[in-house]
Structure 1
Amino acid sequence: MNLCHIASLYRVEEKMAKSSSMTLLSLILLLHLFFAKSEKLLAPALYVFGDSLVDSGNNNFLNTVVKANYNPYGIDFPSGATGRFTNGKTAADFTGQSLGLPFIPPYLALSEDERMKTITGLNYASGSAGILTETGTASGINLGMEKQVELFEETVGTYLSGNFKSPKKLRRYLSKSIFMVSIGSNDYINNYLRPGNYNTSLIYTPEQFAVYLLDQLKSRLTKLYNLGARKFVVFAIGPLGCIPAIVNSLKPTTRCAENVNKLVLLYNYGLHGLLEQLTFTLHGSIFVFGDVYRLSYDMNQNPFRYGLNETKAPCCIVGNTGLCIKDQAPCQDRTTHLYWDFAHPMQKINNIVAKRCFRSSSPCSPINIRKLALLPTVT
């Protein structure tokens, strides 16, 4: 809002004050509310790429056993089960809300006409998907990271272009949008750690596999940049050695299977360096590193700091796949558990991660998402 707009608003309020004895305090409150409303929309769109941690329903439309479109999933979501792999909202949902955006729809759920009209962002994430195309396919079809980027390319070329008067305005819109990436977990739990289905652990040492994953991720992120993305939030992999699926399988003597966590840390350390490199080499870009590992590990080790008292048992009753059994009642108090099923966190945890990443100095660095959204852009 410029000074002319403020002056105009003040003149209107001055007239109202004379006729209705409106106090100066009322005027100040009205101005405060006006500014709050005008600043609420911090980014024009949020584009989400990833796996089941942020999938909002794409897997509902794929031939796979990895689905969450039934009760008790979504028991705390406004419209019930949607395909989100938790009891309520994902971290992407909370981030979108903080940016002032509506819920970001899953790409596969929209018709051609709906895609043409959607300019607040799309969600391409897919349960069981990974950075590598073959990851998770033992359970059925998914949208791997490469495919997700291809769908975004289609979005830019086919659907978004008609909403902008010139390529320059489209580029500016994309440069202001936020691109969230949360992927990599399945490349370990549904690839490297499953030698019966995949041979990656036979071909690569842990160090080599981390380097291979990062090289593939770099290629995908660079393609997004070349399509117009400038503001990225890329999350590290959480402590997979602490999830119920791993703990119940390996039965470590400690709270978490630290040998699995060491595999993840090799990737996370490399990811941090990669994002710094990309920010330096890709002109006008900024890559924010979401260190969810550190935060999630602390939740496992010190649950009472976060109002939790259960870090091993999932809230819902799980079946052989590690997902919730259909129509079985979950735990009643859904604020004290860390995990919803054998692999996914509760809505409460997603909220903590998203809100801290949005406003605090950690777990997201070098800046939080709010500051990222407010940064001037270079197309």
Structure 2
Amino acid sequence: MTLPNTYSLSHIILFLLFSLLASFLPCNCTSKPKQPNEARQVKGMFVFGSSLVDNGNNNFLQNSMAKADYLPYGIDFPLGPSGRFTNGKNVIDLLGDRLKLPSLIPAFADPSTKGNKIVHGVNYASGASGILDETGIVAGNVINLKQQINNFEEVTLPELEVRLGCKSTELLPHYLFILGTGGNDYSLNYFLSNPIPNNNNVSSLQFFTAKLITSLYNHLKKLYSLGGRRFVVMSINPLGCSPVIQASRPTHEGCRQDLNQAARLFNARLRQLVDVAKSQLPHSNFVFVNSYRIMHKIITHPTSNGFNDARSACCEVAALNEGGNGILCKKDGRTCANRSMHVFFDGLHPTEAVNVIIANKAFASNLTADVYPININHLALLY
């Protein structure tokens, strides 16, 4: 009758011995590349933001008008319509390619995003969302930035710690944190309340922008407190040059400058934030990607950059007078024949061809006007 007790005791002793040995072994997340110059120096990416970086989270939202889960979206994407707001890959997919990550970053809202699928990162971005909680309400149900970060902290991070056998402060320095947000805070928030430019808007725009930057910095500090150390922040694109804006303006008037002014103001403050954050958050590193400058150069000189249309949408868009929003493609609507020659796919979002240029410059450009203070490749090699 003593055998079962002896048997159980031996197993307990063995378990304790293995646990003791494991405490002296490095966890999976701290393993380094075999070669110093190996291309993949990061384990993955965690992505937060709006439709420019959404990989399909809005597909799973009820009562949301900001969805791209139908053709012609994804017409050039290997998996077809996936919720990406473009014809093919978005910037996140293309950066993952450059970093040689083994798979596409999955959308958090997809029920299958668990287990081994989260090891190389998760995408939390939501189309029509913004930095502020109230941004995007006009589009129905969206996941604001605060909730995106809560989803990371409360759902993904505990599972990742268990799966990799590490504390968050050990594993997260080996990931990139990418934030691409802010544009909707102007187009779907500020300018809805201030549609007509006037002198009184100057001070309110400054105040609103300061509010956005402060809020964004608080979110960055939250991710830093969880263990994040490598951050990429994307600028706002030229809001006043999008087809949804151009459609209501004579050709000779060009881009709407008050919208572009707001974008430039935000981007200037965001670039400054990179220096402030690095100085105040020890052992952190930040990269500012000036996609505004990259896109504006393409829009201003399309032919020399390989494009022949920088004003209109490639897909058939439902106009405001047709019951649409002037932004999203009509379901199963027409598309232009040569999508690689168009700057914009729908009324707001760039084509894959433009995303390729942005991603390549973000990853490898040596011009601080494009990416500051270092490029993403350099950021990936820091640890």
- The TM-score range, normalised by the shorter chain, is 0.7 to 0.9
Q: Which residue of 1 aligns with 2:206?
A: 207
Amino acid at match of 1:39: E
User: 1:48-87 maps to which residues of 2 (within 5 A)?
Assistant: 48-63=47-62, 64-87=64-87
Aligned length: 337
Q: Deviations over 1:230-253 (max 9, x none)?
A: 101101111101111122235574
Aligned residue for 2:360, secondary structure, equals helix
Q: Which residue of 2 aligns with 1:350?
A: 355
Contact 1:316–1:340 (CA under 8 A) maintained in structure 2: yes
| CA-CA distance at 1:258 after TM superposition | 1.1
Contact 2:53–2:125 (CA under 8 A) maintained in structure 1: yes
Q: Which residue of 1 aligns with 2:170?
A: 172
In 2, the alpha carbon distance for the partners of 1:355 and 1:203 equals 35
User: 1:145-164 maps to which residues of 2 (within 5 A)?
Assistant: 145-164=145-164
Amino acid at match of 1:47: F
Aligned residue for 1:233, secondary structure, equals strand
Q: Which residue of 2 aligns with 1:275?
A: 274
Q: Which residue of 2 aligns with 1:188?
A: 186
Aligned residue for 2:232, secondary structure, equals strand
In 2, the alpha carbon distance for the partners of 1:277 and 1:146 equals 21
| CA-CA distance at 1:166 after TM superposition | 3.7
Contact 2:316–2:333 (CA under 8 A) maintained in structure 1: yes
Q: Which residue of 2 aligns with 1:129?
A: 129
| CA-CA distance at 1:275 after TM superposition | 1.3
Contact 2:106–2:117 (CA under 8 A) maintained in structure 1: no
Amino acid at match of 1:359: A
Q: What stretches of structure 2 of length at least 5 have no aligned partner? A: 1-32, 319-323
Aligned residue for 2:380, secondary structure, equals helix
Q: Which residue of 2 aligns with 1:323?
A: 328
Aligned residue for 2:219, secondary structure, equals helix
Do the aligned partners of residues 166 and 50 (structure 1) sit closer, same or farther apart at CA in structure 2, a change above 3 Å counting? closer
Aligned residue for 1:311, secondary structure, equals strand
Amino acid at match of 1:216: S
Q: Under a length normalisation based on structure 2, what TM-score does the superposition of the two structures give? A: 0.83
Query: In the alignment, is residue 359 of structure 1 matched against residue 361 of structure 2?
Result: no
In 2, the alpha carbon distance for the partners of 1:238 and 1:140 equals 23
Query: In the alignment, is residue 295 of structure 1 matched against residue 294 of structure 2?
Result: yes
In 2, the alpha carbon distance for the partners of 1:221 and 1:183 equals 12
In 1, the alpha carbon distance for the partners of 2:292 and 2:94 equals 19
Alignment root-mean-square deviation, CA: 2.2
| CA-CA distance at 1:365 after TM superposition | 1.4
Report the identity percentage: 38
Task: Tell me whether 133-142 or 69-78 shows the greater mean CA deviation.
Answer: 133-142
Amino acid at match of 2:258: N
In 2, the alpha carbon distance for the partners of 1:106 and 1:185 equals 21
| CA-CA distance at 1:37 after TM superposition | 12
Aligned residue for 2:46, secondary structure, equals strand
In 1, the alpha carbon distance for the partners of 2:357 and 2:144 equals 27
Amino acid at match of 1:358: F
In 2, the alpha carbon distance for the partners of 1:37 and 1:316 equals 45
Do the aligned partners of residues 296 and 203 (structure 1) sit closer, same or farther apart at CA in structure 2, a change above 3 Å counting? closer
In 2, the alpha carbon distance for the partners of 1:123 and 1:165 equals 22
Q: Deviations over 1:52-110 (max 9, x none)?
A: 00101000011201100000000000010000000000000000111111100000013
Amino acid at match of 2:372: S
| CA-CA distance at 1:298 after TM superposition | 0.9
In 2, the alpha carbon distance for the partners of 1:272 and 1:203 equals 20
